Amino acid sequence: MKYPGKRLPLVAANWKMNTLPGGAGALVEEYGDEMLCGNPELVVCPPFTHLAALGLTLGAAGCLGAQNCSEHLSGAFTSEISAAMLRDLGCRYVILGHSECRLRNPMESLRIPEKIAQALAHGLTPIYCCGEDLPIRQSGAELDFIARQLADDLPPELKLNSHKLVIAYEPVWAIGTGKHASPEMAQQMHVFIRSRLKDMMGIEAERTRILYGGSVQADNAAGFASQTDIDGVLVGGASLKPADFRAIFGAFAAKGQ
């Protein structure tokens, strides 16, 4: 049985720790009004300090996202930000399990199921990141590794909420290493991820959007957009360059028509 619906492409801008709050609105304005049309869906994930002001700039036309959240609801957790706080600021999405967070904090992976559960409980859509590093890719164990990540990280709540999940495949081995994942290689991994989701969650997994989160640039976006199971992209550095980001967005706008 095949899910009959069509997945709306999603293009997410992960600004990481870049820009100052005063320049955030101007950067979004440089993206252009065509990005606020709703197809593809645009999600902007700025630093925490920018969320309140940027939510006003985006309004109802764009989606505001955060780059992480706590696994706790509230309490004595210095420096943490809860999913409830993000939702109150107008966020609709939150990135969880990004490779940079996992690398900096060895405990991060253990917290992801609870973070996803908190996000869902407060009306946030998780953009859950998974992906293998270079030694795992070179050993040929990438499929086993991704299968374990999915099994370990995705909580039981998702069985009834798989349509509220977005997955971003991050080939860590292809980020800043000089190596590249071709669109065909990315497609193969996306097919595998979707098959594992179906095993875990059933046919509803056909509704889950799977983004590519490698080094997406203006000159390679069309190749990724041409692949059936690449439903969008999670863009890092190129999202800080409006002309490049418009080109990436345009590649997926054509896919969504």
Residue 51 lies in a domain: no
Give the number of domains in the chain: 1
Residue 223 lies in a domain: yes
Residue 40 lies in a domain: no
170 is catalytic: yes
Average pLDDT, the chain: 92
pLDDT band at residue 197 under the 50/70/90 scheme: very high
180 is catalytic: no
What's the chain look like in SS3?
CCCCCCCCCEEEEECCCCCCHHHHHHHHHHHCHHHHCCCCEEEEECCHHHHHHHHHHHCCCCEEEECCCCCCCCCCCCCCCCHHHHHHCCCCEEEECCHHHHHHCCCHHHHHHHHHHHHHHCCCEEEEEECCCHHHHHHCCHHHHHHHHHHHHCCHHHHHCHHHCEEEECCHHHCCCCCCCCHHHHHHHHHHHHHHHHHHHCHHHHHCEEEECCCCCCCCHHHHHCCCCCCEEEECHHHHCHHHHHHHHHHHHHHCC
Instruction: Assess contact for 247 and 221: CB atoms under 8 A.
Output: yes
Residue with structure tokens 């590649």?
251
| Percent of the chain surpassing pLDDT 90 | 79
Residue 34 lies in a domain: no
Instruction: Assess contact for 130 and 91: CB atoms under 8 A.
Output: no
Instruction: Assess contact for 130 and 97: CB atoms under 8 A.
Output: yes
Residue 197 lies in a domain: yes
Domain that holds residue 243: 10-15+57-255
Inter-CA distances, 176 with 24, 81, 130, 131, Å: 25, 29, 17, 14
* Both structure tokens of 25: 């609105």
pLDDT in tens, 213-222: 998 999 999 9
pLDDT of res. 256: 63
Catalytic residue among 50, 170, 190, 206: 170
Instruction: Assess contact for 53 and 24: CB atoms under 8 A.
Output: yes
pLDDT of res. 37: 75
pLDDT of res. 236: 94
5: phi then psi, degrees, rounded to nearest 5: -75, 170
pLDDT band at residue 61 under the 50/70/90 scheme: low
Residue 45 lies in a domain: no
pLDDT of res. 1: 36
pLDDT band at residue 4 under the 50/70/90 scheme: very low
pLDDT in tens, 14-53: 999 999 999 999 999 999 888 887 789 999 999 999 999 9
Range of weakest confidence among 92-101, 112-121, 173-182, 242-251? 173-182
Section 240-256 average pLDDT: 93
Question: Residue 110 is which amino acid?
Answer: L
> In the predicted model, is pLDDT for residue 60 greater than 80?
no
**Can you give the CATH number for the domain in which 70 is found?**
3.20.20.70
pTM: 0.95
Residue with structure tokens 């059936």?
228
Section 150-175 average pLDDT: 88
Catalytic residue among 41, 50, 71, 98: 98
166: phi then psi, degrees, rounded to nearest 5: -120, 135
Residue 183 lies in a domain: yes
Residue 110 lies in a domain: yes
pLDDT in tens, 90-145: 999 999 999 999 999 989 999 999 999 999 999 999 999 999 999 999 999 999 99
